[in-house]
Structure 1
C-alpha cells in the first residue's frame, strides 16, 4: 500500500475522504432495480433484453454510437470462427483467442484484426449479423480496431446471434470464455466492473475501456505493441488521434456487456463516456451505480454495503493481515467497493491513523484495512462482524 505524500496533505485529504467532517459515503445494496441512474456528466447508451419474454426492459440512447474499445473483440472472434471450427483450433489459436476473450488481450486482437483484413472484418460481420449502427473506424485509422463504432442495440444483436444463431461449438466456445473473464486484463486494468460487479454469477462479460492512461488497479504491465496496433484499450490517445469523428474519440470510455442469469436469460449492454480526465476508479464506480440501477430480469444482486475508498495501490489480501498474506490484487484508485462484513485483524498505521479493523470484499475474495474505506470511525457502521 502506498502512503500519501506529505504529512500535511494526508491530514487534509483524510479529513475529507474518511468522512471526519460529514457522513459516511455508503449505500445499501439495492434489493431491486427502480430507475436508471446516469451520473452527471456521463453519456450513456443502454439496452437490456430479456430473452425469456423477448422484450427490452431498458432502452436509453440504445442506437447511439460509441467507440467500441475492446467490445469489438466479439466481432473479431466471430469473424475468425466463421471459417475455423473451435473444436479443431491449433494450440496457438486457442491460446490467443482465449486470452482475447477472457483477459481482453490487445496483442491477440491486433493479430486477428490484421489477419482478417481489418475493416473487412466489420463489413462481413455487419452483413452476417444484420447490424445497423456498427461502422468501421474513421478514415485514416483503419488499423485501430478500438475505434470501430458500436451501439448498445447492436451489441444486443451480437449476443442474440451468438446465443440463438451461431453453431453450438461457436456459441459454447465464445460464451464459455466470457464466463471465465479474469479479474485483470492483460494490460493491468481491473475489468470486473459493471455487470461483473453488480450481479452474482452466472454471468458472462466482454468489457471495454479506453483513454484512462496506465492506472487500472491491477499490477501495471508495459505495453507490448505500438499504440495503433493496440487498438487504444487502456491507453491515452495521442493528440493527433483525438480528432473529431463520427464517434467520440476524446472522452474516457467504459463499457460493460454480456449476459446475466441462468441460461443467459438477460443480455445487458451499457456504453458510457465520461468527462475528459475522469480517473479510472471514478468511471468504474459511476458505471457500477448505473448498472446496479437497471431492471435486469434473472439477476441476483450481492448483499452488503457499498463504500467509497481512497488512496492508490490499496492491496486486497486473503486474510486481515500483511503477514504471510500476499496481495490478491490492488483496487483501482478511489473505486467504490461492496463490503459484506468486517473483522479484527493486524493493527495497521497510516499516519495519523491506526486501525485494527478490516473489511471483507466478497467480489475480490479478500480484505482491505478499514483505514482506506471512506467512513468515519474505525468500525464501519451497519456492517456485521464476519462469522469466521
Structure 2
C-alpha cells in the first residue's frame, strides 16, 4: 500500500471473503466520523425486526432507496429522528459485534454523521450483510448499493475510490463531510473540541464490495488537511484505492490523467451540443480510454479539436482541460 503524501490520515481494511483473510490493513481500528457510511446501520436497524416477511411500506422503500443509492441526507435524518437517534448505534453495536463504533458526542446528538466508525467495524457490517443477514435484508441493502448513482442527492460526485478504480462488479456506500457546498456544510457552529474523533478536517470515505459475488470487502476512511478541495481529496483517495490488494477486483483499463478547470462538463458527444452528463470536480484524476476528433474548443492559450472519452461517465471532455492541455493526448489511442 502506498501511503498518501502530506497530512492525510487513513484507515484501511480489505477482506477477502473467499480466502477468509485480510489482504490490506492500515490503522483498521482508528476512529473516524462516519459521514454517510452510518446509513448502513440506519437501514439495518430499520429492517431488524421486520421479519420474517420484511415488508417495506412504499414511502419507506422510497426513502431507504434514495438514502442507500444517492446518500440522501434528508432520509437519514428522518430515520435518525424516528428510530431514536444514537439508540440506533447502541442497538446495532452488540447485534453486529462492533468494537469501536460509538454514537455522536452528547453535545451533538442530532448529528448522525458524527457517529464514530472504523475500517475494521465497517468490514464487520458488510460481513454480516453478506453472510448472516436474512436473504430479504441482504437483497434489499446490497441491491441498492450495487445501484449507487453517479451523483449524490447534494450533487456531489460519489464515484471516487472503489467506483473509479474497479470494473464492473462493485457496490459502494460512500461518505463525505466538511467540503464547501456539501449537504450540512457549515450547519455545526460549535464542534466539540474533545470529542474523541476528528470533526473538523475534511472527511472522504469509500466502502463497499468488489468482484463477482461480492468477493472482497473494501473500507477506506480518510481525513484531509483543513481546506482541502473536494477534487483533491477525491483524487488522493482514489489513488490510494488503486494501490490496494483487492482479490477478485478488475482494474478499470485506460490512462489516468489530471484535469484542470472547475465544473468541466462531460458530454454525450465530442461537441458542446452533446447532452451534459455531469461536471467534474476541480482538479480530479479521470480515467481516459481513447480520444475522438470533434468540435474545436479554444480557451487561450489552449485549444483542441480532440475530446477524451471517460468510460466511467460514458461521455467526453475536451482535451483542453485534460492532461497537459495539448491538442492531442500522448499515448492515448483514437476512439
Give the TM-score normalised by the residue count of structure 1. Answer: 0.84
How many Å separate the matches in 2 of 1:360 and 1:307? 12
How many Å separate the matches in 1 of 2:193 and 2:49? 36
Contact 1:210–1:236 (Cα < 8 Å) also in 2? no
Contact 1:211–1:237 (Cα < 8 Å) also in 2? no
For structure 2, the residue ranges without an aligned partner over 5 or more in a row are none
Q: How does 1:122-161 map to 2 (within 5 A)?
A: 122-161=89-128
The structure in which a higher percent of residues are strand is 2
Are 2:49 and 1:83 aligned? yes
How many Å separate the matches in 1 of 2:37 and 2:329? 37
Cα distance change on mapping 1:64 and 1:237 into 2, 3 Å: farther
Of 64, 70, 78, the match for 1:103:
70
Provide the secondary structure at the position in 2 that maps to 1:162: helix
Q: Give a deviation string over 1:192-242, Cα, whole Å, max 9, x none.
A: 10000010021010000000011x7xxxxxx6xxxxxxxx4xx24544126
How far off is 1:139 after superposition? 1.5
Q: Give a deviation string over 1:287-321, Cα, whole Å, max 9, x none.
A: 00000000000000011111111111100001101
Q: How does 1:156-195 map to 2 (within 5 A)?
A: 156-195=123-162
Are 2:21 and 1:55 aligned? yes
Contact 1:310–1:333 (Cα < 8 Å) also in 2? yes
Are 2:234 and 1:272 aligned? no
Contact 2:70–2:153 (Cα < 8 Å) also in 1? yes
Of 237, 249, 252, the match for 1:287:
237
Contact 1:68–1:148 (Cα < 8 Å) also in 2? yes
With a CA cutoff of 8 Å and minimum separation of 6, indicate the structure with the bigger relative contact order: 1
Provide the secondary structure at the position in 1 that maps to 2:190: helix
Are 2:278 and 1:312 aligned? no
Comparing 84-93 and 275-284, the one that deviates more: 84-93
How many Å separate the matches in 2 of 1:265 and 1:237? 39
| Aligned-pair Cα RMSD in Å | 1.3
Contact 1:45–1:270 (Cα < 8 Å) also in 2? yes
How many Å separate the matches in 2 of 1:121 and 1:74? 11
Give the TM-score normalised by the residue count of structure 2. Answer: 0.97
How many Å separate the matches in 1 of 2:97 and 2:22? 18
Match of 2:304 in 1: 355
For structure 1, the residue ranges without an aligned partner over 5 or more in a row are 1-34, 217-222, 224-231
How many Å separate the matches in 2 of 1:242 and 1:100? 27
Provide the secondary structure at the position in 1 that maps to 2:126: helix
Regions of 4+ moved over 3 Å: 236-239
